[in-house]
Amino acid sequence: MREFRFGVSLRSIGDPQQWAAKCQSAEELGYDVITIPDHIGALAPFPAMAAAAAVTRRIKVGTLVLNVPFYNPALLARDVAATVRLSGGRFELGLGAGHMKAEFDDAGLPWQDLRTRLDHLTTTITELRRRLEAEDVEVPPLLVAGGSKGVLWIAAEHAQIVGFAGLKPKPGAEPGIWRLATEPELTESVTFYASLDDQAERNMLLQDVVVTGEKQAAAKTWAEQAESTVDEILAAPQLLIGTEAEIVARVHELRERYGFTYFTVFEPAMETFAPIIRALRA
């Protein structure tokens, strides 16, 4: 059985000293990967990763995930090659097909249909590999994440890691507005992926971690926000709610049931989740 790995998605940079301290804290708390998302108005992934690698020793850096339609493949290959070198090989490349129309509008880029975005993702992966190999640069481990069957097909074909976020498009809303996927919906996605490939590492981007002895009350708060029920919230694999012991048991259950062994939390949960990491590795 594959061992657990843990990542933290960092979203705020502060000044250089604050960024260094945050990255070093993630390493000291036992995380395996610092990941950076890719959004307009947020951190620029590549300089943030280079800075993180420069002030740490063990922890890897990565993207979760790059908005691939933002990028020209040749220019992206240049940035990937530099990050591989500057990190000493401590780099994992996460790619996605893009999903937030508002960001494309903000950037003045055309919003294209899913098929076109998937084709660009496939082309980018092929071109990245070709250019990196031509430069004798080690191709970093590739994570492909998304909820559509098309993205999962690409992950099965090309990636060493497949990412799930437990989100679904909200009906009637603009692309990029999400709702929590239900447990049956996530099960369907994982089952579909498993029918294509059962070798890749499976990542779950946890939407929240709530350590509490009042599980029902915490789930009720989430249910009200998500227009869901308490039972649905407690069954959701992308939410961890309960005491530390209950969450540890739940993570083991998620590995057994879904094959998730790589869990990523958002920055606000970095310290909350650290004791759970220690318990899972004890």
The answer to whether residue 196 scores a pLDDT higher than 70 is: yes
Q: Average pLDDT of 223-239? A: 95
Partners of residue 218 on adjacent β-strands: none
Taken in order of first residue, the domains within the chain and their CATH numbers are 5-281 (3.20.20.30)
Q: Average pLDDT of 105-118? A: 95
CB-based contacts of 125, cutoff 8 Å, min separation 6: 95, 142, 144, 154, 158
pLDDT band for 176, please (50, 70, 90 cuts). Answer: low
pTM of the model: 0.97
Residues 235, 239, 242, 248: is their CA dihedral positive or negative? positive
CA distance 238 to 164: 9
Q: Average pLDDT of 186-215? A: 97
CB-based contacts of 215, cutoff 8 Å, min separation 6: 234, 241, 242, 243, 246
Note the Cα 43 to chain centre separation in Å.
Answer: 15
- What distance separates the 2 farthest-apart alpha carbons in the chain? 56
